[in-house]
Amino acid sequence: MKYLDIISSLKDKKYENVYFLTGDESFYIDKISDYISKNILNSEEKDFNFVTLYGKEIDSSVIISEAKQYPFGATHRVVLVKEAQHLSKIDDLENYIKNPNPTTILVLCFKNKKLDKRKSIFKLLKTNALIFESNKLYENKIPAWINDYCNAQNIKIDYKSCAILAEYLGNDLAKITNELDKLIINCSDEITSSLIESNIGISKDYNVFELQHALSKKDLVKSNTIIKYFNLNNKAHPLILTINSIFSFFQKVLIYKQISNKSRQEIATLLQVNPYFLSQYEVASSNYSAKQLHYIFSYIKDYELRLKGINNKNTSHQSLLIELIFKILHS
């Protein structure tokens, strides 16, 4: 089941006896387990009917003992097992899963590790439990996720701001929501680039998307201005990430040059970008020939190696980035 479907069922008081929450994206696992913790039992019922266990500290027999107990003064008992991936003998739960206590809601949070699907316990979970798999989102999906999160809070945000946040924050949803919640508190009804700059420190004028835009136009002055800013703020703009973003940009430019007879939406889908950014790929495609792009990829590879200390004796990381941009713009 999907996350929203599970939350909807829980709100309708349609409970499963066993929830197996797994995957490498802890955000949704935490959201589901937190909802169960806070909403199924009231504060008085929790005193006798709610228990949290940790897989590192117990074995399966403790879980079974707690799960087999009947509720006192409530309709259900909730047993929440965090760090279930650390249980040494999770297979020992098989008999309980075959015949769970109908008044117990057992929640197994199995993070950052996959349960072998060939095991009999996984087959039992498939038939006798609700399995929810929470996987990391691909980075190109993060801007749309940010947009949806803001919309759900009735907050407006433009796509460029979504993309800037995604580039800066990565794909850790917990980290992203933490920063978004700060922004939402400090805005009226819209998250703007100025708000992002003042609260998170991401410049609206000096960021990777402005660099890509300057490179697409072969704007030497703007490109160097942005690079100087990056070099002065290298903790926020690590060189390796900047070089990776430059490579990704020109890789998409090359793909754009090879696309014909496609709509803007089809091109955006192929490039895995929002249509908002297509114009800069169109401009870059006209400003860089296939031969120039070949040289650019060669430069990027060379400077990645020099960044790692290969064939680079004394040149600083800051100077390497300046050199790379110079060579790209004069290719």
Domain count, the chain: 3
Interatomic CA distance for residues 128 and 140, integer angstroms: 35
Same domain, residue pair 188 and 251: no
Domain harbouring 168, CATH code: 1.10.8.60
As a whole number of Å, the end-to-end CA separation of the chain is 51
From 76, 104, 133, give the residue that closes a domain.
133
Give the HSE-up count for residue 294: Cα atoms under 13 Å, Cβ half-sphere.
Answer: 3
From 85, 101, 133, give the residue that closes a domain.
133
Same domain, residue pair 110 and 161: no
Same domain, residue pair 129 and 166: no
pLDDT of residue 201: 84
Return the H-helix or E-strand segment holding 257: helix 239-258
Same domain, residue pair 178 and 261: no
Interatomic CA distance for residues 65 and 81, integer angstroms: 13
Same domain, residue pair 153 and 272: no
pLDDT of residue 42: 95
Domain harbouring 298, CATH code: 1.20.272.10
Same domain, residue pair 67 and 112: yes
Same domain, residue pair 174 and 291: no
Longest dimension (CA), the chain: 77
Same domain, residue pair 39 and 113: yes
Q: Within 10 A of 15 (CB to CB), how many other CB atoms are there?
A: 18
Strand partners, 132: 21
pLDDT of residue 291: 95
Alpha helices in 170-219 (DSSP H): 173-185, 193-199, 208-216
Same domain, residue pair 32 and 54: yes
What would the DSSP string read from start to end of 40-105?
SS-HHHHHHHEEEEETTT--HHHHHHHHHSPPSSSS-EEEEEETGGG-TTGGGGHHHHHS--TTEE
Same domain, residue pair 160 and 235: no
The boundaries of the domain holding residue 45 are: 3-133
Interatomic CA distance for residues 72 and 92, integer angstroms: 26
| For the chain, counts of helices (H) and of strands (E) | 17, 7
Number of residues assigned to the chain: 331
- Report the candidate in 196, 165, 166, 170 with the shortest Cα–Cα distance to residue 183: 196
Same domain, residue pair 239 and 278: yes
Cβ neighbors of 67 (< 8 A, separation 6 or more) are 77, 79, 96, 100, 101, 104, 106
Strand partners, 18: 106
Low-confidence ranges of the chain (pLDDT < 50): none
Same domain, residue pair 144 and 255: no
pLDDT of residue 313: 77
Q: Is the pTM of this model over 0.85?
A: no
